[in-house]
Amino acid sequence: MKIEVTVNGEHQSYDVEPRMLLVHFLREVVGLTGTHVGCETSLCGACSVMLNGDAVKSCTVLAVQADGAEITTIEGLAQNGELHPIQEGFWECHGLQCGFCTPGMIIAAHQLLERNPKPNEADIRRGIEGNLCRCTGYQHIVDAVQYASKKMTR
Amino acid sequence: MTPFDYHAPKTLRSAMRLVQEFGDDAKVLAGGHSLIPSMKLRLAAPSVVIDLGGVAGLKRVTAGNETITIGALATHYAVESHRLLPSKCSLLPETAAEIGDAQVRNRGTVGGSIAHADPAADWPATMLALDAQFDIAGPDGERAVAASDFFVDLFITDLQPGEVLTGIRIATPPENSGGAYVKMRQSASGFALAGVAAQVTLDDAGNCASVAVGVTGVAPAAYRAHAVEDALVGQGIDAVADAAAHAADGVEEFQEDHHASGDYRAHLARVFTQRALSQAIDRAA
Ligand code: FES
Ligand code: FES
């Protein structure tokens, strides 16, 4: 089936099978492997991307459902070689170890800060509750989001 | 996932035509947060998927003085973040906020959850407590069914072959009303081991003029805890504990799995009914 999507600002049409998941489409058809597949069962959040402005778990969306949509993946956040403030926060605050969960964490944090630019710690933990990290113990991720919040609201 | 043909109708009329045409071979897709997981596990293997996501007008949420309407395709987040609902009927956004996580709430829909009728889903309890009416389109036109007649059994509702849930209508609660939804989450999935929605209206003396309690997670289908309601009508907050003891009365079969026994779920139903009612009365006062 033919679909048209705008991924990180680039508009293109593709031919996909209806059963292809959005995450597989992004990774294997578009070639953007920053979005990860962790559980494939909507639990871990590693596959999170922005779909028309909403963070979604792209393992639980069909690529055909994204026909006509605008998608932002982790690759779309940095602008002109400058890290996005959330990415910078993860860098500065050691918000990652292995990095597997990081793209999804950053997308979830992005959604949170859009809706609530100055979240407190509880807000942050709730905002990323759909994302699992097996390395950091979360505290450094919370710090990273706080760093980004400060920088973005300055 | 086994292969399927995908249709994305733009109007309800063409969606209904497709539903009639493909019958049992087809599944209707809303937000996809129940159907897609089921298809991945091959618990569902439809040969045709009819996606309602592009159908105009099914996503609207309105909160008037008389009636609240929720389109079947409205997301949980649309209810959670609705500007007027916290003051008109706080039970709705409170329930929405308890579902899954932010990404799931962005995508999952109220109508999809209701039509799927997972025994541990949150919405059925709240819809029962609010006496919701469900609007259903079918081959012979439209009909409405009350929430209390809708949830029949495990994943079974009153929806007949060829019918599609299109929206939800709720009478806006009067002044002096309050609601609360509390649940025990299964910690990995976030689904309710037991979830209780309570909605009360107080009279001038501060006693309960009306009480409605919906319980999910405990039995194969969500149910109204009528014994609790009967014990509390005309009474005040002091009667809550005794009334809540009846929260699992009349349940013939309990949900039971490796997460929680039936006895434990019955216990949770009573405890959470007490909490939900106390909060609801507090908020109504
Ligand atoms: S891969 Fe999508 S939530 Fe884990
Ligand atoms: S950094 Fe390894 S899973 Fe989060």
Which tens digits make up the pLDDT trace of A11-39? 999 999 999 999 999 999 999 999 999 99
Residue B130: helix, strand or coil by DSSP? coil
Give the predicted TM-score (pTM) of the model: 0.97
CA distance A9 to A13: 13
The pLDDT of residue B56? 85
The pLDDT of residue A22? 98
Residues with CB under 6 A from ligand 2: A 96-102, 133-136
The ipTM estimated for the assembled molecules is 0.97
Domain of residue A10, CATH code: 3.10.20.30
Domain of residue A110, CATH code: 1.10.150.120
Quote the minimal CA–CA distance from B250 to chain A in Å. Answer: 35
Spatial contact of A87 and A93, defined as CB atoms under 8 Å apart: no
Beta bridge partners of A79: A82
Residue-wise DSSP of A39-97: -SSSSS-TTEEEETTEEEEGGGSBGGGGTT-EEE-GGGT-BTTBPPHHHHHHHHTT--S
**B184 and B271 in a common domain:** yes
Scanning the structure block, which residue is given the tokens 């897609």?
B36
State whether residue B97 sits within 8 Å of chain A by CB.
no
**A102 and A48 in a common domain:** no
CA distance B121 to B191: 6
Which tens digits make up the pLDDT trace of A115-145? 999 999 999 999 999 999 999 999 999 999 9
Contacts of B246 (CB under 8 A, 6+ apart): B225, B227, B228, B231, B270
Domain of residue B131, CATH code: 3.30.465.10
Which tens digits make up the pLDDT trace of A63-122? 999 999 999 999 999 999 999 999 999 999 999 999 999 999 999 999 999 999 999 999
Ligand 1 atom nearest to A45, measured from its CA: 3
In short, whether A92's Cβ falls inside 6 Å of ligand 1 is no
Chains A and B: how many Cβ contacts under 8 Å?
A: 74
**A92 and A70 in a common domain:** no
Contacts of A150 (CB under 8 A, 6+ apart): none
To 10 degrees, what angle do helices A85-92 and A102-115 make? 120
State whether residue B250 sits within 8 Å of chain A by CB.
no
**A22 and A68 in a common domain:** yes
CA distance B240 to B22: 50
Quote the minimal CA–CA distance from B248 to chain A in Å. Answer: 31
In one letter, which amino acid is B107?
R
**A26 and A8 in a common domain:** yes
**B218 and B266 in a common domain:** yes
- Nearest of B256, B260, B248 to residue B223 by alpha carbon: B248
**A71 and A6 in a common domain:** yes
| Last residue within a domain, chosen from B171, B190, B217 | B171
Ligand 1 atom nearest to A43, measured from its CA: 3
| Last residue within a domain, chosen from A76, A104, A125 | A76
CA distance B107 to B31: 5
Which tens digits make up the pLDDT trace of B198-214? 999 999 999 999 999 99
| The two structure tokens encoding residue A59 | 């393992």
CA distance B195 to B214: 8
CA dihedral A140, A145, A147, A149 (to 10 degrees): -170
- Nearest of B173, B276, B176, B162 to residue B229 by alpha carbon: B276
**B186 and B277 in a common domain:** yes
A152 pLDDT higher than 90: yes
Q: How many structural domains does chain B have?
A: 3
- Nearest of B157, B179, B170 to residue B94 by alpha carbon: B179
The secondary element (H helix, E strand) that includes residue B110 is helix B110-116
Domain that holds residue B11: 5-54
Question: Which of A17, A40, A57 is the closest to B103 by Cβ?
Answer: A57
Domain that holds residue A95: 85-153
Domain of residue B39, CATH code: 3.30.43.10
| Last residue within a domain, chosen from A12, A43, A76 | A76
The pLDDT of residue B119? 95
Which tens digits make up the pLDDT trace of B153-204? 999 999 999 999 999 999 999 999 999 999 999 988 889 999 999 999 999 9
Our mutation pick for probing the ligand 2 site, out of A93, A134, A143, counting the most ligand atoms within 8 A of Cβ, is: A134
Question: Which of A42, A43, A111 is the closest to B102 by Cβ?
Answer: A111
Question: CB A108 to CB B104 under 8 A?
Answer: no
E-only strand ranges, B57-205: 61-63, 67-71, 133-138, 141-146, 151-153, 156-157, 164-171, 177-185, 192-202
Residue B202: helix, strand or coil by DSSP? strand
- Nearest of B4, B57, B12, B52 to residue B32 by alpha carbon: B52
Q: How many structural domains does chain A have?
A: 2
Nearest CA to ligand 2 atom 2: A98
CA distance A104 to A89: 15
The ranges of chain B with pLDDT < 70 are none
